[in-house]
Structure 1
Amino acid sequence: MSRQFAVTQKAVLFGPERRLLLLENEAGVWELPGGQLHTGEQPVPGLQRAIRETTGLDASVDGPILNSAWEIDEGGAFAAVYRARSPTEQATLAGDHVRAVWLAPDEALERDLNSTQKRAIELAGDS
């Protein structure tokens, strides 16, 4: 039996002040910027596209720092989280996001994020 998997990519996105970006969606959930990988798209350009579409930021993306998979409905989901950098903190929101905040990593960890995103922030550091 074949199962469908959604592939999502997120970024621990640091700005020039060494703060990272969190987005709040319409449901009031905080998350890291990113989105789904399109069919045929390479991972890094796909993540750069998703960041640009949701925040207006042109980010440079380093290697992945965390991968996670879980079951949803009758399929599954896979997320890859990367470390990334933006030359500016001037985000312009699009899509289903209503607020963007730039926070120090310890402040970001105080937000109501899922355990995968919190672990990614811990692993990302700011090196």
Structure 2
Amino acid sequence: MSDIPNGFYRISSKALILDENKKFLLSKETSGMWELPGGGVDFGEKPQDAIKREIKEEMGLKTTYIADNPSYFFTFRSTNDVPFSNVVYVTEVENLDFTPSDECIEVRFFTKEEALKVKLFGSIKDFLELFSPENH
């Protein structure tokens, strides 16, 4: 039996973009908080298509690869108590010619230790507990 209750969850599809040193890309939102690139999955949309759409909309980047299966999955409750499920897919982008937007003002690669020193969305702390660069 699962500890995760049945019911309504908002699904969020996130991209794990790694550099050659196994650092992962985070995007800084206008709130000043850092987050994995990606966002909500629209009704009827595949999680990989949501990543592609969100990265284009928020960062102006083109994806070249999104894994068939997620590497990480975790749940959390938002500040207004809505349960979220995050699925994280290894993703590659064509280049990092980042274009700031209304939702994303900066991107940067981090190690786990470096990420813990900046303002993170609470759900990213959950991801950091799971993330192991040796697995990629």
TM band (smaller chain): 0.7 to 0.9
The CA deviation at 1:87 is: 5.1
- Where structure 2 has 5 or more consecutive residues not aligned to the other structure, the ranges are 1-6
Query: What is the TM-score of this pair, normalised by structure 1?
Result: 0.75
Q: Let me know the Cα RMSD of the aligned residues.
A: 2.7
Q: Answer whether contact 2:33 2:121 (CA < 8 A) is retained.
A: no
Q: Is residue 2:124 matched to residue 1:120?
A: no
| 1:85 maps onto 2:91 in alignment | yes
Structure 1 portions without partners, runs of 5+ = none
| Equivalent residue number for residue 6 of structure 1 | 10
Residues 1-127 of structure 1 aligned to structure 2 (within 5 Å)? 5-55=9-59, 56-58=61-63, 59-61=65-67, 62-70=69-77, 73=80, 76-86=82-92, 90-93=96-99, 94-126=101-133, 127=136
User: Structure 2 vs 1, CA of residues 52 and 30 (structure 1 numbering), >3 Å: closer, same or farther?
Assistant: same
Identity %: 21
Change (3 A) 1:52 1:122: farther
- Residues in 1 aligned to 2:23 and 2:78: alpha-carbon distance in whole angstroms: 32
For these two proteins, the number of residue pairs brought into alignment is 124
- Distance in 2 (CA, whole Å) between partners of 1:27 and 1:9 is 20
Distance in 1 of aligned mates of 2:8 and 2:126: 26
Contact 1:9 1:36 in 2 (8 A): yes
